[in-house]
A and B are shown apart, each in its own frame.
Chain A
């Protein structure tokens, strides 16, 4: 039986000099596209890094696909992929070699991974460059290689931190298409973004985080209701996520 929540976070806390994440509760359903938005320093990246196993929380619980990610990180990592805004790939490897390397790390069957790699390279328009080293690639191509690496082991949950930053329109569209396909196939996506239009168009639900806490969550309509901005729907931008976001974030910022 499928888990109701692909990702379930309870009371997550992480402090550096000050609390970066402060008792965060978050639940993302299987097959859902969830966008996490918030002002700079709100704790978005810290949260995602804890989910991906790159940071250890000071307190709280993280369950991924029903697995306790803090007690059994290796099992949790097996079903998760992480992509950051700065694609971290190896300049001296080709995209195909990079995918083979990822396949080795995730212990995927070589034949299965090879077929999946070819499909991904075609899909992302990387096939003509599959056997060239990544050192001369543009930011967009590097991000696509990283995305292919994230998908080659067929993860159930994909965590993306600002994946569209610095991408041109064509590359951004390709990445968005791949992510949409992924959710259609039953995958779960949790993504942070500063481009509110992307969150508005792509996400099933949006969470707004400020000062390390989730201050609002829901579909765009639910958020509008929470922000009370529907009444202003006469003006051009009224009711957009941007206005809703600003209305929701302003209160905690003023209170801080």
Chain B
């Protein structure tokens, strides 16, 4: 038994919290589901091994040449950027969202031990998030190509440590440069941009160089191979470590662990100050606000509710960044639209499903905020307007926001090709309406600040929303080529939505 207040004691405390949080997340708070969840995960894991065998099995005995090193390095880099994004999210949350920080900072124990443990926990969590995703692929490469592929596991540990180190350094730098008020917002944006940058960068390069949105085109290009460094370059070490080079792996592991230890030693003693600064961040933003005219003038209750939704979304930087982040992925299609303007409709076909998918996802997030994320539900419920009226106003607010965001894309698309514009417009409307309907069926009262946890509250709603967006995107993609062929994916999507409606909880009360 470790003494209270020591690093080991904090580590036990943290691991217990993380374990229970994770357990609650995968079982949606119902422990009796655990057996089913474990069986489900095992089945999914087995299925992923089959998929991995089909996808990467043929590369198990691949020769180490430039083409291989470029492909593996690109995969490692993409994964690492996603890990950095994940680690930044976790570190930012450690500053802003842990309710136990007041208790710990007010206690007589040295808080730097806790923050040291917490940084190590972020590294562990980041690694543990990546391992299950990578494991089927690594396992199948081991089965087909031998134990040399086992090094890939070590590389993931090194990547997790290095990603956490960079995330801590970036967050601390943001605190120092921007202060507490802006750090959360900017860190969220930076995390999302880092996560998306590589994919978007490859797509942009592919569009500009080859006129296609496929990022593989860039990775296989002669230009890139010509620019790539020689085989003995240090830049290939991560790829070499994944391919079984023991020395490269040992060096990367040692370097990443030393960097993580340095980050803990440097940042942990300072975290207490950052947390205290972060706790006061919201207060400072309220001072000196000027007199607003947001609700001025005569307006119907429905208009008032619509305005309220838009004002609250506009003013909440964090929610705004969370909701609009997925629009980053619209950058490549926008670029492609611009590039292919007036060059026929062939390439425009690719844009239709991307727009429809993005609209569905955005509408799902906004609909949750409007329908479930109501901070004053009693006030709205006691207003002298029929319940249906309130709901209609909220749906109008969601669809209005989607319409404003997607209108420029649709207009440009319609000018380039009226048919594609028409199909994309219809797809956006249907996908947004379907995502809103799913959020309505699975509504449950929550604070807006719980936005991040909305996908945990109902797995079925999350699945239905995602499948709906994918289904309508597929329908629109097929419809852009042949209207009648689109009936099949449309019917399938409607069946899934019907199933979600049938399984949705029925409201118990008015």
Q: Which chain A residues border B289 with CB–CB below 8 Å?
A: 94, 131-133
Q: Which of B249-307 contact A (CB under 8 A)?
A: 282-292, 294-301, 303-305, 307
- Residue total for A at the interface (Cβ-Cβ under 8 A): 40
Given contacts A88-B376, A132-B289, A136-B287, contact A53 B294 (CB under 8 A): no
* A110 in complex: contacting residue of B283, B297, B377, B382, CB < 8 Å: B297
Given contacts A55-B510, A90-B376, A97-B294, contact A77 B383 (CB under 8 A): yes
Q: In the complex, A220→B311 CA distance in Å?
A: 48
Q: Is the CB of B312 within 8 A of A107?
A: no
- Asked if B346 CB lies within 8 Å of chain A CBs, one says no
Given contacts A92-B316, A133-B286, A133-B289, contact A80 B298 (CB under 8 A): no
- Asked if B232 CB lies within 8 Å of chain A CBs, one says no
Q: In the complex, A131→B284 CA distance in Å?
A: 14
Q: In the complex, A116→B509 CA distance in Å?
A: 34
Q: In the complex, A97→B293 CA distance in Å?
A: 8
Q: Is the CB of A104 within 8 A of B376?
A: no
- Asked if B342 CB lies within 8 Å of chain A CBs, one says no
Q: Is the CB of A135 within 8 A of B285?
A: yes
Q: Is the CB of A101 within 8 A of B304?
A: yes
Q: Which chain A residues border B382 with CB–CB below 8 Å?
A: 52-54, 77, 80-82
Q: Which chain A residues border B378 with CB–CB below 8 Å?
A: 52, 54, 82, 84, 88
Q: Which chain A residues border B283 with CB–CB below 8 Å?
A: 135-136
Q: Which of A67-100 contact B (CB under 8 A)?
A: 74-78, 80-82, 84, 88-94, 96-97, 100
Most chain A CB within a 10 A radius of its CB, from B290, B375, B377: B375
Chain B 23-41 interface mask (CB, 8 Å, partner A; 1/0): 0000000000000000000
Interface SS majority for chain B: loop
Give the number of residue pairs across the A-B interface with Cβ within 8 Å: 117
Q: Which chain A residues border B292 with CB–CB below 8 Å?
A: 94, 96-97, 131
What is the distance, in angstroms, from A248's C-beta to the closest C-beta of chain B? 30
Q: Is the CB of B315 within 8 A of A92?
A: yes
- Asked if B379 CB lies within 8 Å of chain A CBs, one says yes
How big is chain B's contact interface, by range? 35 or more
- Asked if B386 CB lies within 8 Å of chain A CBs, one says yes
* B376 in complex: contacting residue of A77, A81, A89, A133, CB < 8 Å: A89
Q: In the complex, A11→B300 CA distance in Å?
A: 36
Given contacts A55-B510, A110-B298, contact A74 B316 (CB under 8 A): no
Given contacts A56-B509, A81-B382, A135-B282, contact A96 B291 (CB under 8 A): yes
Q: Which of A103-150 contact B (CB under 8 A)?
A: 103-107, 110, 131-137, 149
Q: Which chain B residues border A76 with CB–CB below 8 Å?
A: 384
* Interface set of A (CB-CB < 8 Å, partner B): 52-56, 74-78, 80-82, 84, 88-94, 96-97, 100-107, 110, 131-137, 149
* Between-chain CB contacts (< 8 Å), 21 pairs: A54-B382, A56-B509, A76-B384, A82-B379, A88-B378, A89-B375, A92-B311, A92-B315, A93-B308, A96-B291, A100-B294, A100-B295, A105-B304, A105-B305, A105-B385, A131-B290, A133-B289, A135-B282, A136-B282, A136-B285, A136-B286
